[in-house]
């Protein structure tokens, strides 16, 4: 069992920055991949950034490459998403998710554990 709790969301102007955090607890040693997803109203949930935790290999959606950075702090069992140069189209509820099994980083059914979400709003 793994529990995930996101924090760090808020409202910023376009061009601003936010850092999201996802604190993991429980059987964190079983986690192999952690991913940030986001969902805007009326839109499908999409994968934003992911990290294969054993070797810290990262993946990013094309729309956030060069602007967002995903990282992990093993000592604190925490996942981060540093978001710079934010755009209005980044506005969404952001969720962290973790999986312990093989699967594509974008395959949502493969993620067993999900956080409650944190809202990011970017104004123009």
Provide the pLDDT for residue 103: 80
Pair 80, 73: CB distance under 8 Å: yes
HSE, side-chain direction, 13 A CA sphere, residue 109: 0
Comparing CA positions, the residue from 116, 119, 49, 53 lying closest to residue 82 is 49
Give me the residue label for tokens 């940030």.
36
Per-residue confidence in pLDDT tens, the chain, 124 aa: 999 999 999 999 999 999 999 999 999 999 999 999 999 999 999 999 999 998 999 999 999 999 999 999 999 999 999 999 999 999 999 999 999 987 899 999 999 999 999 999 999 9
Tell me how far apart the alpha carbons of residues 60 and 69 are, in angstroms, rounded to a whole number: 8
Comparing CA positions, the residue from 62, 18, 8, 61 lying closest to residue 37 is 61
């Amino acid at each position: 069992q793994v529990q995930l709790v996101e924090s760090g969301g808020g409202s910023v102007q376009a061009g601003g920055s936010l850092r999201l955090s996802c604190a993991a607890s429980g059987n964190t040693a079983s986690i192999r991949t952690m991913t940030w997803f986001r969902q805007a109203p009326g839109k499908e949930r999409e994968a934003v950034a992911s990290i294969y935790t054993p070797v810290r290999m990262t993946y990013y959606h094309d729309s956030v490459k060069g602007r967002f950075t995903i990282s992990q702090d093993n000592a604190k069992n925490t996942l981060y998403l540093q978001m710079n140069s934010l755009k209005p189209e980044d506005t969404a509820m952001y969720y962290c998710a973790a999986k312990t099994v093989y699967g594509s980083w974008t395959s949502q059914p493969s993620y067993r554990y999900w956080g409650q979400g944190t809202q990011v709003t970017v104004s123009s």
